[in-house]
Amino acid sequence: MTAPPLSVVIPVRNEAARLPLLLADLAAAPASLLREIWVVDGGSVDGSAGLARLAGAWVLSSIAGRGEQLRRGVAVCEGPWLLLLHADARLPTDWPAEIQRAIHAGEQTAWTFPLAIEAAGPALQLVGALSTLRSRWRSLPYGDQGLLLSRTLYERSGGLMPLPLMEDLEFIQRLRRLAPIRLLQGPLRVDGRRWRRLGVWRTTWRNALLRRAWRRGVDPSLLARRYYGEPGG
């Protein structure tokens, strides 16, 4: 009997309110698809790791930083296909069929989801729509859109760098030189808390400034402190 192909990696830091919802979505996968779920905890103090274990996920401890957490998770996975997700995401109802369709298309294509932000208002609908358009026409998805790819393609690209921020863009820029990045059907819904707290346009402008600073060579550790609002940022 062929082993299930899909390994899921979720970097986590204090996501007890949202992580169980994502794990419940993943529980809908047929046994023939989902091999394992690895939750890589970056020092949570809210019980995220314990909730993940209760839901049947494997838990790995890590220093905080999505790039490093994802790297560690991928390193212990056994599946030939990887699905990288942020902990505050919610999968579309028919996600197992979409993933299976993508896997059957072959290992030389990577896939991401359209983005939808869970907060009311046309401004956030526009943010999601623009993110999807950028993914479709420029092959530049963000990490919160999820990423599905074969382990072969992951290794050919050199894998993720242990960056505390911008690990998604740095990786995607290398990946898209090797393979097309296509859109799955059905949006991945993400928590709109940051947009609600800071405001849509302020958040959008801040993110644009962070990306520009990264392209100009500013230390990603400094950018992470600015993004997360930690002391010294």
DSSP string, 91-140: --TTHHHHHHHHHHT-TT-EEEPPEEEES-SHHHHHHHHHHHHHHHHH--
pLDDT of residue 99: 97
Q: What is the pTM of this model?
A: 0.91
Confidence of residue 232 (pLDDT cuts 50, 70, 90): very low
pLDDT of residue 220: 85
Farthest CA pair distance, the chain: 54
| 81 membership: H or E segment, kind and range | strand 81-84
Q: Which residues of 123-136 are buried (b: 16+ CB within 10 A; e: fewer)?
A: ebeebbeebbeebe
Confidence of residue 54 (pLDDT cuts 50, 70, 90): very high
Tokens 């026409």 locate to: 137
Across the chain, mean pLDDT equals 90
pLDDT surpassing 80 at residue 198: no
pLDDT of residue 1: 60
pLDDT above 90 as % of the chain: 64
pLDDT of residue 11: 97
Q: Is 54 helix (H, G, I), strand (E, B) or coil?
A: helix
Lowest mean pLDDT, pick from 172-186, 197-211, 212-226: 197-211
Distance CA 141, CA 125 (A): 16
pLDDT tens figures, 5-39: 999 999 999 999 999 999 999 999 999 999 999 99
Query: Order of strands, edge to edge, in the sheet holding 115-118?
Result: 89-90, 188-191, 115-118
pLDDT tens figures, 71-116: 999 999 999 999 999 999 999 999 999 999 999 999 999 999 999 8
Confidence of residue 40 (pLDDT cuts 50, 70, 90): very high
Domains of the chain, CATH where assigned: 6-196 (3.90.550.10)
- Please say whether the dihedral angle defined by the alpha carbons of residues 203, 205, 210 and 211, taken in this order, is positive or negative: positive
